[in-house]
Amino acid sequence: MICKIGEKVRSLRLQHKMTQEQLADRLGVSYQSVSRWENGVTYPDIEFLPAIAKHFSVSLDYLLGQHDAEKQKQILSIICRIPHMTDTDEDDLIDLIRMCRREQDNGEFFEDICCALRYSPLHRNTAVLDELRKSKEAFFEACTDASIRSRALGYYACLEEESHIGALLDRYASVQTTARDYLLKERYLFRDEFELFETARQRYFHKQITYLINGDISLWRDSSKPMDAQHSLFENNSKLALLHSLCQETPTDEHPITCGNAPDVFAEQRIYIGMRQACVYAYLGDKEKAYAVLEDVITLMENIMALPDGEKLYCASPALDVLTVSVKNEENSGKLGRGKSLWYTLENGKSEMCAEIFPKDQLECLAIAEYARWGWLSNLRKENRFVKLIQRLKDVL
């Protein structure tokens, strides 16, 4: 049993972000002694064991590795009782959480407690949550297993009080992915807070659809092979069909991208799909379709640039009927110049950008064949009709 002491000392030291020298100084020994303990060369003298245990807030049993299996079995048996605990068991549950925080290695019990607590009447008990919040800090410091961290965060997000949920997600859930919105969606569903659930669900769904519509741009090649053009045409048509179906709109020859509607939450996606579609039609020799797409896209950008700061954009889809984004004026001092950005309002009152629209970026793509794929427009660039469209785009800068 005692052979585990060195392993335990090393694990505890690392969890507390201490060097061997710092621990040695705290205990009044040389750092070589600590090194020998951790490498299993020697063991700490018995007189140091209480000091080590006290310093790391663990029991001597834990440090000596005695009864580990029995204690784990005991703790897990109590955790299994959590769903049946009531208000009269509050103190027992708090004692369990504290014991797990002292005894656990790498936060192994935190996930199990959070999972079980969701099914207990105590899952909104303030004292229990206060204690669990302390264990949460220790857990995320110690646990390095991504799958365990992810599951535990999902369970804990269901339990945390509203006043703390924003800070929790700011710290542990990435805003570059759908993780934050997914966790909120599951949290509010669990808590029967259906209005908040619907907002989080729609924001999550919007991001999923946006990711799908943005798709794999590798299908839009840098070469000018006919097969590449056909691949791009199929991809763009598929994305537009999905977008139009979602928004319950019907494209026309005059408005193949916007369907004649005002700017909506998918404005950025419409612009980029339209730009690629115009290139494909130009390469395939269908000038009328290429010009119709360009006209629709440029009109959309003109309308977006005319929107005042703070204007709200919506979506016609019944699946996204409460989703709104706010328009914000942007001024990029570098290459991009003047533009607009679209922002969600998060549950903590903060904002999260979901789209950026800078006409100068589109102008350079249309007017300059910097990449081979934009070269598909070369047979239009000298035509007066194309020059007029480019001038309209310049006028909004």
Q: What pLDDT does residue 215 have? A: 62
Distance (Å, whole) CA 362 – CA 357: 9
Question: Is 109 within 8 Å of 79 (Cβ atoms)?
Answer: yes
For residue 128, what are its two tokens? Answer: 């229990």
Q: What pLDDT does residue 178 have? A: 64
Question: Is 354 within 8 Å of 209 (Cβ atoms)?
Answer: no
Distances (CA, A) of 23 to 10, 144, 217: 10, 23, 54
pTM, two decimal places: 0.70
Tens of pLDDT along the chain (397 residues)?
345 788 888 888 887 888 989 998 888 888 888 888 888 888 888 888 888 888 887 777 777 765 556 777 888 888 999 999 999 999 999 999 988 887 655 567 899 999 999 999 999 999 999 999 999 988 888 787 888 888 899 999 999 999 999 889 888 886 555 688 899 999 999 999 999 999 999 999 999 999 888 865 554 555 555 567 788 888 889 999 999 999 999 999 999 999 999 999 999 999 999 998 998 899 889 999 999 999 999 999 999 999 999 999 999 999 999 999 999 999 876 677 889 999 999 888 889 899 999 998 888 888 875 555 677 888 898 899 999 999 999 998 8
Q: What pLDDT does residue 253 have? A: 95
For the sheet containing 337-345, what is the strand order?
A: 312-313, 325-332, 337-345, 351-357
Q: What pLDDT does residue 224 have? A: 54
Q: What pLDDT does residue 69 have? A: 65
Distance (Å, whole) CA 158 – CA 117: 10
Residue in this structure with the two tokens 């992915």, named with its chain if needed: 177
SS3 188: helix
